Amino acid sequence: MIKKLFPFIILLCYSSVCAQISNAYYSVGEEAYKGGAEKMYQDIHDVITRKNLQKCPKNEYFYVKLRIDRTGKPGLIQDKRTKEFMQKSPCAYDYVIKTLGELHDWIPSKNVTLSDGTLYEFPFFPNDLVGHNYKKDYNAKEQTEKASYEGGTDAFRKELAYLIGEYLADLYKPEGVFELSFTVNENGRASDFDIFPKSPSSEQFVKDINTITKRMKDKWIPAKFRGQNISSRNVIKIRFRND
């Protein structure tokens, strides 16, 4: 099977060791696929149907993390978590490789540069997209119970503002309202922060946020899809003031 899939792996894979590539995400409201997530899932279903792929033996789940380059070509991020998913959800991973390389309506981000790609994440349950299991306008994101923070979102904002004030106040002076996006994984761990709108110092600021937030305790309750904990991408607004 490995040899058979090799051309698709070359097409789809990015190594997480490429430190020169920044980990920027799509901005809020920006689509990564023509027609949105519903059309993306529909197109995956169409590929599954055309290839006559059958249901996985178990209802496996794979959290897909792609980098879309400036030409609209997707690359599957190969990091530690991806390898863990490959081990526990081999059938779902097989479907990722066999289907995503066939999709051609990815949209490069407006913010992408010549050397950058933009990250896009989504939950993938292959059995939901096989045969009569697939329902029109299916969108796993829309059917997901959102992640929540112990004490509420304001408690998270306060803890984050404290950390930024404690460790980064002498380096950055952000002012105004920003949208902060981040991933909460299946264990309630927040990571992969990004911020909008961008500024000349945003890239280093985001790197430093990702460093200091490692000090935060895991107080997030993960998102759930039909009772199963899954990773999810989340967005909150945060106001910075320099008094």
Q: How far apart are CA 230 and CA 210, in angstroms?
A: 21
Give Cβ neighbours of residue 100 (< 8 Å, ≥ 6 apart): 12, 44, 64, 66, 74, 76
Q: What is the mean pLDDT of residues 40-45?
A: 98
The reported pLDDT for the residue numbered 212 is 93
Is residue 64 very low, low, confident or very high in pLDDT (cuts 50, 70, 90)?
A: very high
What's the CA gap between 134 and 136, in Å, rounded? 7
Q: Name the band, by pLDDT with cuts 50, 70 and 90, for residue 114.
A: low
The mean pLDDT of 57-84, rounded to a whole number, is: 92
Asked whether the CA dihedral 214, 174, 176, 109 is positive or negative, the reply is negative
pLDDT averaged over every residue in the chain: 87
Q: Provide the strand spans (E) within the chain.
A: 13-15, 24-25, 62-69, 74-78, 117-124, 148-149, 176-184, 190-196, 220-221, 223-225, 228-230, 232-240
Q: Which residue has the higher pLDDT, 148 or 172?
A: 148
Q: Record the tokens describing residue 54, joined without a space.
A: 């059958």
Has residue 111 got a pLDDT over 80? Answer: no
Residue 54 has pLDDT above 80, yes or no: yes
pLDDT at 132 over 90: yes
Model confidence at 63: pLDDT above 80: yes
pLDDT for 4 beyond 80: no
CA distance 91 to 124: 11
SS3 category, 214: helix
The residue-averaged pLDDT of 107-115 equals 74
Whether pLDDT at 1 is above 60: no
* Residue 168 pLDDT: 87
Q: What is the average per-residue pLDDT within 1-6?
A: 38
CB atoms under 10 Å from CB of 178, counted, come to: 18
Across the strands, what pairs with 233?
183
Confidence of residue 173 (pLDDT cuts 50, 70, 90): confident
Percent of the chain at pLDDT > 70 equals 88
In the chain, the percentage of residues whose pLDDT exceeds 90 is 65
**Residue 34 clears pLDDT 90, i.e. is over it:** yes
